[in-house]
Structure 1
Amino acid sequence: MVEIIAACITTIDVVIVYSLLRMRKGRLVLALWTMVLNMAFPLLGFIMGDWTVGVFSAWSHLLSGALLALIGLHMLLQDDSSNSELTRQLHPVLIALAVSLDTFSVSVSFGMLQLNKLLFIFASGSLAFIFSCIALYYGRQISVRNGKILRRFCGLALLTMGIMSWFR
């Protein structure tokens, strides 16, 4: 269950970023690339996390907790200086890459904690596709004006999960 919650938290930024985009063409391609990358990066992250556990077996819970806490702290401190004009000119693969990159670092932490990798990978990919489609096709109706509040909530959740994993 932790894997599904974490997948939801790490992919919620897709809604924030994609609801700001005003794309008429290539929305399905962007959603599919986001899904693929949200499955590929966690797979690589879990492999890296498993390897890290072998190297740092005594410190794996502390290290993974620190990584999650730092990701959450980064989300809390991130500013709102994103420019949707620039993202419209980028190729969908680059946009999907930028949005999906955070799943790698979260999955490294989960790989160290020995959580269910298949559940997180499939949940992350499917939620990324669903969130992408919702934001790209219905972004004007959603009108995420307070993406800052949503991002801070997700950052606080990741920070809390990181701190809680220290005492596991």
Structure 2
Amino acid sequence: MARALSRGRRSAGDEALIRSLYNEHGRSLLAYATRLTGDRAAAEDVVQETLIRAWRNPDVLVNGKGSVRGWLLTVTRNIVTDRARARDARPKEVAESPAHTAVERDHADAVVDSVVVLEALATLSDDHRDVLIEVYFHGRSVSEAAKVLGVPPGTVKSRSHYALRALRTAFRSDKTALREVMG
């Protein structure tokens, strides 16, 4: 019981000490913290944290070693430094916006497109599919594709024309079917 009573007296004394510290040094601490942080609200938080540390260590303030204001300003500077280091330790968060695109593009659309194209190619005749593969996938000219396929260049042109027309029709029907499914 004596211990609880002494704690009550001590906390009342500590509270009075902190009040007097705030009255005497609060403005200069706030001005210093504002200068260091550049933000009044953050500076108020720093001053509050400084006074909490003073409340936790009252013996440092009354031991007669050094200046009380010097100790408080040093604690303030250390708190600001610790907060800056903690903030810099994490990577900066960037809001997702059109100005900030993803570092790596999502390849899902390309995968879907290739699956759709392969399915559409499977619906073509072998002759039409072979012409498109030679001309578009292998990048051959009409005459080169004609040599590889063993057909005249005019045949390559007409087969590619009809193959592309069939693909357009297949893609349109896929879009129509997709719209019907999606409602």
What is the TM-score when the length of structure 2 is the normalising length? Answer: 0.22
- Higher helix proportion (structure 1 or 2): 1
* Larger RCO of the pair (alpha carbons < 8 Å, separation 6+): 1
What is the TM-score when the length of structure 1 is the normalising length? Answer: 0.23
Bigger CA radius of gyration: 2
